[in-house]
Structure 1
Amino acid sequence: MSDAPRAGKPAMTTPAVIQGRAPRNYGLDILRIVSICGVVAIHVFGRRVGAEPKAGRGWWAAVAIDIGFIWVVPVFVMISGALLLGSRQVVQAPAAFYRKRAARLVPALIFWNAVYLVGVRIWMRHEHLTTGRVLQLLYDSSVFTQLYFLWLILGLYAIAPLLASFMVGKGDRRAMATAGLLLAVTVLAFVVPGILGHFGVSRPIPMNIFTYWLPYVGYFAAGYALRHVRLKGMALAGAALAMAALIVFTVWHFGHGGVLPVADMLVSTSYLGAGVAMTALGVFAVGLSLSEFISVPRRVGTLLVALSNASFGVFLVHLVIFEAIRLHVPAVLGAKSFTAIAMAYLVTLAASFAVSWLASKVPLLRRVF
Structure 2
Amino acid sequence: MNWINNARIVSTLAVVLLHVSAVVLSENAVGSEYWWFGNGFSSLVRWCVPVFTMISGALLLDPTKQESLSKFYSKRLSRILIPMGFWSLFFLGWTFFHGVIDGAPPNGLELFTNLLSGLPYEHLWFLYMLSGLYLFAPFLRKIIAVSSHRELTASIIFMFVVAGINFAQLSFSGVYRPSLFLNWFLLYIPFFFIGYVIQRDQRTFSQTMRWGTFTLSTLLTCLGYYFALTKNELLPDGYFHGYLSITVIPMSVSVMYLLKSWDKPILNQQLTKQVALLTFGVYLVHPIFVEILNKTNFIRVFHPVIVIPSATALIFMASLFTSWLFHQVPYLRKTI
Letter in 2 for 1:41: L
Which stretches in structure 2 are left out of the alignment for 5+ residues? none
- Deviation, structure 1 residue 36: 0.6
Letter in 2 for 1:271: Y
Structure 1 partner of 2:45: 69
Q: Secondary structure of 1:346's match? A: helix
Give deviations 1:135-161, integer Å, cap 9, x for gaps.
210122222120111111110000001
Structure 2 residue 90 is matched with structure 1 residue 115: yes
Structure 2 residue 30 is matched with structure 1 residue 59: no
Partners of 1:178 and 1:261 in 2: how far apart? 33
Give deviations 1:263-288, integer Å, cap 9, x for gaps.
84796321121211111111112321
Q: Secondary structure of 1:80's match? A: helix
Describe the shift of the 1:29–1:49 C-alpha distance in structure 2 as closer, same or farther (beyond 3 A).
Answer: same
Q: How does 1:80-159 map to 2 (within 5 A)?
A: 80-86=56-62, 88-89=64-65, 91-118=66-93, 120-126=94-100, 127-159=104-136
Structure 1, 244-253 or 221-230: larger mean CA deviation? 221-230
Structure 2 partner of 1:33: 9
Q: How does 1:315-354 map to 2 (within 5 A)?
A: 315-327=283-295, 329-332=296-299, 338=304, 339-340=306-307, 342-354=309-321
Which stretches in structure 1 are left out of the alignment for 5+ residues? 1-24
Percent identity reads 23
- Tell me if structure 2 keeps the 8 A contact 1:75–1:280: yes
Letter in 1 for 2:191: Y
- Return the TM-score normalized by structure 1: 0.81
- Deviation, structure 1 residue 361: 2.5
Letter in 1 for 2:259: G
Report the RMSD for the aligned CA atoms in angstroms: 2.7
Q: Secondary structure of 2:195's match? A: helix
Structure 2 residue 243 is matched with structure 1 residue 287: no
Describe the shift of the 1:335–1:55 C-alpha distance in structure 2 as closer, same or farther (beyond 3 A).
Answer: farther
Q: Secondary structure of 1:129's match? A: coil
Q: Secondary structure of 1:226's match? A: helix
Structure 1, 275-284 or 52-61: larger mean CA deviation? 52-61
Describe the shift of the 1:116–1:259 C-alpha distance in structure 2 as closer, same or farther (beyond 3 A).
Answer: closer
Letter in 2 for 1:354: F
- Deviation, structure 1 residue 351: 0.5
- Tell me if structure 2 keeps the 8 A contact 1:85–1:160: yes
Structure 1, 339-348 or 153-162: larger mean CA deviation? 339-348
Q: Secondary structure of 1:257's match? A: helix
Partners of 2:32 and 2:175 in 1: how far apart? 34
Q: For this pair of structures, how many residues does the alignment match?
A: 331
Q: How does 1:1-369 map to 2 (within 5 A)?
A: 25-86=1-62, 88-89=64-65, 91-118=66-93, 120-126=94-100, 127-168=104-145, 170-193=147-170, 197=172, 206-232=178-204, 235-257=206-228, 264=235, 268-288=240-260, 290-291=261-262, 294-296=263-265, 300-327=268-295, 329-332=296-299, 338=304, 339-340=306-307, 342-369=309-336
- Deviation, structure 1 residue 64: 1.2
Partners of 1:305 and 1:104 in 2: how far apart? 18
Structure 2 partner of 1:21: none
Partners of 2:39 and 2:50 in 1: how far apart? 19
Q: Secondary structure of 2:84's match? A: helix
Describe the shift of the 1:245–1:148 C-alpha distance in structure 2 as closer, same or farther (beyond 3 A).
Answer: same
Q: Secondary structure of 2:109's match? A: helix
Describe the shift of the 1:347–1:87 C-alpha distance in structure 2 as closer, same or farther (beyond 3 A).
Answer: farther
